[in-house]
Chains A and B, each alone.
Chain A
Amino acid sequence: MANSASGTAPKKLRRDSSIGDRIFDIANIVFLCLLMVASLYPFLNQLALSLNQAMDSIKGGIYIWPRHFSLENYKYVFKDNQVYQATMISFLRLIVGTVFSVFSTAIVAYTISRPDFVLRKFVTIAFVLTAYINPGIIPDFLNIRDLHLVNSFWVYIWPGLIGVFTLILVRSFIDELPESIMESARIDGAGEFKTLMSIVLPLCLPVLATIALFTAVFQWNSWIDVFLYNSSNEKLSTLQYELQKILQNSSAASSATSAFSNSQAAATMVTPLSIRATMTIVASVPMIMMYPFLQKYFVKGMTVGGVKG
């Protein structure tokens, strides 16, 4: 957000320092610091619990720093084949889902940005209408079943392949590109697909990065599709769904079915509390590590349509 910097620049010139103003500044900073604590604390608490000896955590009093540092919880979690498998599937759906979505979105966006394309209106309306019409959970479920996608990895990829929001985002970006560039490519005899691949896509990298990030976060954080379609197939489970099962079990108090609350767990000195905290960290760390560096792409995506409104 380059313009936010210029927006605050003139304020620095202001040298108003009435007492009221100073009190406001201090109160503002204190309040925002408290807000940051509130945003971070619950997460840091889980991090501390995951890095603390499980038996020691039961005594309570762990806030943001582990009392008896230990990596046992992580070792235990990753020894579990199910967690390992789920991690692989989570990454696989993130990568495959993002690549497929970005390419598909770019291709359709390109075709509906060609002003003379005969099907342009038809394709655009067909896509935009789906933003209004939502068949609902059960019709979707019956449809996926009839398409034989239950119990398959592809149920993570196909249903959400192209989103209307990202499609419009890419199309408006292509619309802004100078027409002359594409014109010259066509005069050189390049076909539409070649023009897209060699000229348009490289120019669209910023917006494609933005939608890739949105898709990646969506893919990583999804669990309902696992729950609805693949809950009987452990091989296709994801980290989010494994964590959801743990949460469900720990809120249901006693659980003979939980993979973690059996006697074996007690023998290896882990507890449901520590496993839960560890899985929480494992399931969120990739996104938490990534977003601060790629923030500007996300922000761009959020503001492109927003401010024009």
Chain B
Amino acid sequence: MESNITTATSSVTSNKPTGLKLFFRKLVQQRMLVLMSVPFVIWLFLFKYMPLWGWTTAFQKYKPARSFSEQEWVGWDQFNFLFSDERFLRVLRNTLAMSGINLILGFVTAVILALLLNELRSVIFKRVVQTVTYMPHFLSWVVAAGIIQSTLSTDGIINVLLIKLGFIDKGNEILFLGIPKDFWGILGAGTVWKEIGWNTIVYLAAIATIDPSQYEAAEMDGAGRFRRMWHITLPGIRSVIIVLLILNIGNLMQSGFEAQYLLGNGMNIDYSENIDIFVLKYGLEQSNFSLAVAGGMFKSVVSIVLLVIANNVAKRFGGSRVF
């Protein structure tokens, strides 16, 4: 079509629509679509791109009272301070450890649960288990943290069970959230409790696409329950597992904020504090915006790199989840 237009108008050089002219002509033609999308692009700019300007704060010794031109520029000083700061290195360690633990635990438990659900013979029972295990996903982290706190408190059900089973004596109840080194495990277990059912959805959907005749053939050949799981179900969802795993590695710097903030306390702070909490404390409580922004910016930049790598690798493994 386009070539037709060009040949037709090539003789009349003055009328030949240049790229820009064509663009504006189309823009006017599609003014309704422009009107429908541009306000939201402006919204996007205001709320998602403008804040990036705040990153300049990381290279300043920011004083809220001063205007932008009056700020003192300090180069990479804030970053140099961060990486020699023991506290920042600790929150970096905590961030990576917690997201790593959550990633592995989340994956393993969800895949196992999906396999077990798939082995159920009763569809109704399967539905019931699914519905019940989805429930904690719909609780806010505020509610979930409150529930986890009371479950783990000295008179909570875990201590009651430990006493009844004879593992500890009455009077020796364990204050779980007061033990710094247990925090990563508690957070991992809490996250599994909240999300295990929900995380099975994708795997169950993938399992449902496996050709049933494969199972029949395997059974003919005398393959038992576990062999069928191992040789048919797991390979059948392997690509989904790999893609999701890679994509989630892109989120390694995002260990979440709510759970750590809500479950953290003075006793376990050395293990519960992550980059987000560090940023919030420096920024909003101590008004040291520059250092806080430097910490947050470091996190964001590493995240972008990880996400780009993860998405590209995932695409190579056969498409990605969203993009």
Mask: chain B, 12-29; 1 = CB below 8 Å from A; 0 = not:
000000000001001100
- The residue on B at minimum CB distance from A196 is B36
List the B side residues contacting A40 at CB < 8 Å: 132, 135
In the complex, the answer to whether A123 meets B41 with C-beta atoms within 8 Å is: yes
- The residue on A at minimum CB distance from B130 is A295
* A141 interface contact, C-beta 8 A: yes
In the complex, the answer to whether B322 meets A305 with C-beta atoms within 8 Å is: yes
Q: Could you tell me which residues of chain A, from 25 to 48, have a CB within 8 Å of some CB in chain B? A: 25, 28-29, 31-32, 35-36, 38-43, 45-46
In the complex, the answer to whether A128 meets B323 with C-beta atoms within 8 Å is: yes
Of A5, A114, A192, chain B has the most CB atoms within 10 Å of the CB of A192
* A158 interface contact, C-beta 8 A: yes
List the B side residues contacting A220 at CB < 8 Å: 140
In the complex, the answer to whether B201 meets A136 with C-beta atoms within 8 Å is: no
A284 CA to B136 CA in the complex, in Å? Answer: 10
Number of interface residues of B (CB under 8 A): 109
List the A side residues contacting B208 at CB < 8 Å: 1, 3-4, 6-7
List the B side residues contacting A236 at CB < 8 Å: none
List the B side residues contacting A112 at CB < 8 Å: 37
List the A side residues contacting B299 at CB < 8 Å: 136
In the complex, the answer to whether B205 meets A135 with C-beta atoms within 8 Å is: no
Q: Chain B's nearest CB lies how many Å from the CB of A60?
A: 6
In the complex, the answer to whether B147 meets A280 with C-beta atoms within 8 Å is: yes
Task: Count A-B pairs with CB separation below 8 Å.
Answer: 299
A158 CA to B48 CA in the complex, in Å? Answer: 11
* A187 interface contact, C-beta 8 A: no
Q: Chain B's nearest CB lies how many Å from the CB of A191?
A: 5
Mask: chain A, 193-217; 1 = CB below 8 Å from B; 0 = not:
1001000000000000000000001
In the complex, the answer to whether A164 meets B322 with C-beta atoms within 8 Å is: yes
Q: Could you tell me which residues of chain A, from 13 to 64, have a CB within 8 Å of some CB in chain B? A: 14, 16, 18, 20-21, 24-25, 28-29, 31-32, 35-36, 38-43, 45-46, 60, 63
| Residue of A45, A119, A139 touching B55 (CB-CB under 8 A) | A139
Indicate whether A46 sits within 8 Å of B40 (C-beta atoms), given known contacts A28-B116, A137-B283, A291-B135. no
List the A side residues contacting B54 at CB < 8 Å: 135-136, 138-140, 142-143
Of B146, B202, B224, chain A has the most CB atoms within 10 Å of the CB of B146
Indicate whether A14 sits within 8 Å of B48 (C-beta atoms), given known contacts A131-B323, A303-B202. no
List the A side residues contacting B320 at CB < 8 Å: 309
Mask: chain B, 145-180; 1 = CB below 8 Å from A; 0 = not:
111111100010100000000000000000000000
In the complex, the answer to whether B212 meets A138 with C-beta atoms within 8 Å is: no
- The residue on A at minimum CB distance from B50 is A143
In the complex, the answer to whether A36 meets B132 with C-beta atoms within 8 Å is: yes
A309 CA to B208 CA in the complex, in Å? Answer: 15
Query: Which of A72-80, A102-110, A263-271 interfaces with chain B?
Result: A102-110
A168 CA to B193 CA in the complex, in Å? Answer: 29
Indicate whether A308 sits within 8 Å of B319 (C-beta atoms), given known contacts A137-B296, A247-B145. yes
In the complex, the answer to whether B322 meets A243 with C-beta atoms within 8 Å is: no
Of B131, B133, B142, chain A has the most CB atoms within 10 Å of the CB of B142
Query: Which of B77-85, B88-96, B303-311 interfaces with chain A?
Result: B303-311
* B265 interface contact, C-beta 8 A: yes
In the complex, the answer to whether A126 meets B193 with C-beta atoms within 8 Å is: no
In the complex, the answer to whether A295 meets B276 with C-beta atoms within 8 Å is: no
List the A side residues contacting B258 at CB < 8 Å: 223-224
Q: Could you tell me which residues of chain A, from 236 to 251, have a CB within 8 Å of some CB in chain B? A: 240-241, 243-244, 247, 251
A140 CA to B55 CA in the complex, in Å? Answer: 10
Of A25, A130, A220, A280, chain B has the most CB atoms within 10 Å of the CB of A280
Mask: chain B, 212-245; 1 = CB below 8 Å from A; 0 = not:
1001100100001100000000000001100110
* A189 interface contact, C-beta 8 A: no
Number of interface residues of A (CB under 8 A): 107
| Residue of B27, B131, B300 touching A295 (CB-CB under 8 A) | B131
* B293 interface contact, C-beta 8 A: yes
Mostly helix, strand, loop or mixed at chain A's interface?
helix
Mostly helix, strand, loop or mixed at chain B's interface?
helix
In the complex, the answer to whether A130 meets B296 with C-beta atoms within 8 Å is: no
Q: Chain B's nearest CB lies how many Å from the CB of A264?
A: 23
List the A side residues contacting B307 at CB < 8 Å: 131-132
Q: Chain A's nearest CB lies how many Å from the CB of B247?
A: 8
| Residue of B23, B30, B284, B303 touching A141 (CB-CB under 8 A) | B284
A168 CA to B323 CA in the complex, in Å? Answer: 8
In the complex, the answer to whether B47 meets A159 with C-beta atoms within 8 Å is: yes
In the complex, the answer to whether B157 meets A42 with C-beta atoms within 8 Å is: yes
* A118 interface contact, C-beta 8 A: yes
A11 CA to B212 CA in the complex, in Å? Answer: 9
Q: Could you tell me which residues of chain A, from 119 to 153, have a CB within 8 Å of some CB in chain B? A: 119, 122-123, 126-128, 130-143, 147
* A10 interface contact, C-beta 8 A: yes
List the B side residues contacting A7 at CB < 8 Å: 118, 207-208, 210, 212
* A256 interface contact, C-beta 8 A: no
A117 CA to B26 CA in the complex, in Å? Answer: 8
Q: Chain B's nearest CB lies how many Å from the CB of A83?
A: 14
Q: Could you tell me which residues of chain B, from 116 to 133, have a CB within 8 Å of some CB in chain A? A: 116-121, 123, 125-126, 128-129, 131-133
List 17 interface pairs A-B (beta carbons < 8 Å), by A numbering.
A3-B208, A4-B123, A4-B126, A11-B121, A36-B133, A41-B157, A111-B36, A135-B48, A136-B300, A138-B296, A142-B51, A142-B57, A243-B142, A283-B143, A284-B143, A306-B202, A309-B318
Q: What is the interface of chain B, defined by CB distance below 8 A to chain A?
A: 23, 26-27, 30, 32-34, 36-38, 40-41, 43-55, 57, 113, 116-121, 123, 125-126, 128-129, 131-136, 138-143, 145-151, 155, 157, 193, 196-198, 201-202, 204-210, 212, 215-216, 219, 224-225, 239-240, 243-244, 257-258, 262, 265, 276, 279-280, 283-284, 289, 292-293, 296-297, 299-300, 303-304, 307-308, 314, 318-323
